[in-house]
Amino acid sequence: MNYKTIIHKLIFLLLIGLPIYGYSQDGKAVIDSILVRNQDSTKIKKINFSGYPYAFYSPETQAAIGAGGIVLFYTKDNDRLRPSKIGFGAHYTTNKQYKFSLNPSIYFNSNNIVVNMPVSFGYTLDKFWGVGNSTLDTGTEDFFREDFNFQLEVQVPPLLFFADRSGFIFDYKNTSIVDVKNNQFLINEAFNGFEGGNLFGLGINLVWDRRDNVFYPTEGHYQYIKFIVYPEPSDFVFSSFEIDVRYYKKLLKNQVLATNLYVKSVSGNAPFYELPALGGQNRMRGYFQGRFRDRNYVAFQSELRQYFTEKLGFVVFGGFGDVSEELTGLNLKDLKYSIGGGLRYLFNKKENVNLRMDIAVGRDGNTGVYFGIEEAF
């Protein structure tokens, strides 16, 4: 099955599912979240800053110390407008990694125009096990890389009638493989990208966003489709296609069930580090991000969220997913699982922003501890 056929089928399946995600179980339309805001928060028009130092451990970084925070503000005095944010952070790890990141997300014109502009620079001890869903852990997977990433995404009123917003994307990535160490795949130059390279991408996206809150949704749905082409003068010519579907349902008091389906597919001459990567702090927690890589990746997860005091809460979650060369090649017996739980601390009550700490386990002894701001999805 060729790549175009896969894209057409995925879009068809997603569009069929839109009516399901667009309505609640009782058949009534879910209230558009951009029209709903906590009454108290409409009175807060000044800049709201929250900063914090932190220490954490994850499979990707090992032990780390750092500092981060989030700035919340409104671009206009309008009770329809969602809060804009600028997230930032920096950390240093015991295995000599470091990363600086800035993540602005700005809402204008009653949420009809949204500008996202994430920027990051880091030096990372990464791992590469090869490509496929059954790669072996030999202990020689380490390598050092240096990355600078910049993306500009501008979402505007929809060009296609069935979306809430349409977006245009410019993506720039510079990756240098600084030290291959003992990684045989990179020593032997067996995969595209063994030295790194420059990527220039142009893309589009479609967004459906009916969540009742940006940071801690309790009702509604969110769907995101993204397609990016990396043409010349990129060092590697390829394309990337993503679907991210989320659904939120309030159960009991202070209890929410969140679900997420994610699909990513890559075609063309992609470097190994741009292949869809299973694992990380947001999907398939418990696995090192990139423990399994291939051209196609599908993951599904569900999370039960519960506050037990005004500011303290917990979550339990589970999920499954896998990678494959062909999307139709996914096999139930090879699926990886992820289960775990975590704690939440509500440090910004006006906008429902949490600090989170999660512990997750997966197949074959894979485990992970994660610390961050906002929910995984």
Per-residue pLDDT of the chain (377 residues; tens, 9 = 90+): 444 443 343 333 333 333 333 323 333 332 233 333 343 444 445 788 878 787 777 778 788 888 888 898 888 887 778 889 998 999 999 888 999 999 999 998 888 889 999 999 999 999 999 999 989 988 899 999 999 999 999 988 876 667 888 889 999 999 999 999 999 999 999 899 999 999 999 999 999 999 998 889 999 999 999 999 999 999 999 999 999 999 999 998 899 999 999 999 999 999 999 999 999 989 999 999 999 999 999 999 999 999 999 999 999 999 999 999 998 878 888 899 999 999 999 988 887 889 889 999 998 888 888 887 789 99
User: What distance in Å separates the CA atoms of residue 332 and residue 266, rounded to the nearest whole number?
Assistant: 22
3-state secondary structure of 113: strand
301, 286 Cβ separation under 8 angstroms: no
Q: Is the peptide bond before 53 cis (omega within 30 degrees of 0)?
A: no
User: Which residue do the tokens 């009702």 mark?
Assistant: 219
- CA-CA distances (angstroms) from residue 267 to 203, 271, 296? 15, 11, 9
276, 297 Cβ separation under 8 angstroms: yes
Residue 204 has which token pair? 């589009």
Residue 281 exposure: Cα atoms within 13 Å on the Cβ side: 18
CB atoms within 10 A of CB 50: 15
User: What distance in Å separates the CA atoms of residue 156 and residue 114, rounded to the nearest whole number?
Assistant: 7
User: What distance in Å separates the CA atoms of residue 196 and residue 194, rounded to the nearest whole number?
Assistant: 6
CA-nearest of 201, 281, 272 to 241 is 201
Q: What is the pLDDT of residue 267?
A: 95
User: What distance in Å separates the CA atoms of residue 58 and residue 282, rounded to the nearest whole number?
Assistant: 12
Q: What is the pLDDT of residue 240?
A: 97
Strands 98-108 and 84-93: antiparallel
pTM recorded for the entire structure: 0.80
User: What distance in Å separates the CA atoms of residue 332 and residue 138, rounded to the nearest whole number?
Assistant: 25
DSSP state of 28: P
Residue 16 has which token pair? 């069929």
Q: What is the pLDDT of residue 161?
A: 63
What lies within 8 Å, CB to CB, of 129 at 6+ separation is 135, 136, 137, 141, 290, 291, 292, 293
Q: What is the pLDDT of residue 35?
A: 30
3-state secondary structure of 16: helix
Quick one: 46 exposed, middle or buried, by C-beta within 10 A (0-12, 13-18, 19+)? Answer: exposed
Hey, what long-range contacts does 237-240 have (CB within 8 A, 24 or more apart)? 237/268, 237/269, 238/266, 238/267, 238/268, 238/269, 238/270, 238/274, 239/3, 239/266, 239/267, 239/268, 240/201, 240/203, 240/264, 240/265, 240/266, 240/270, 240/274
Topology of the domain comprising 3-373? Porin (2.40.160)
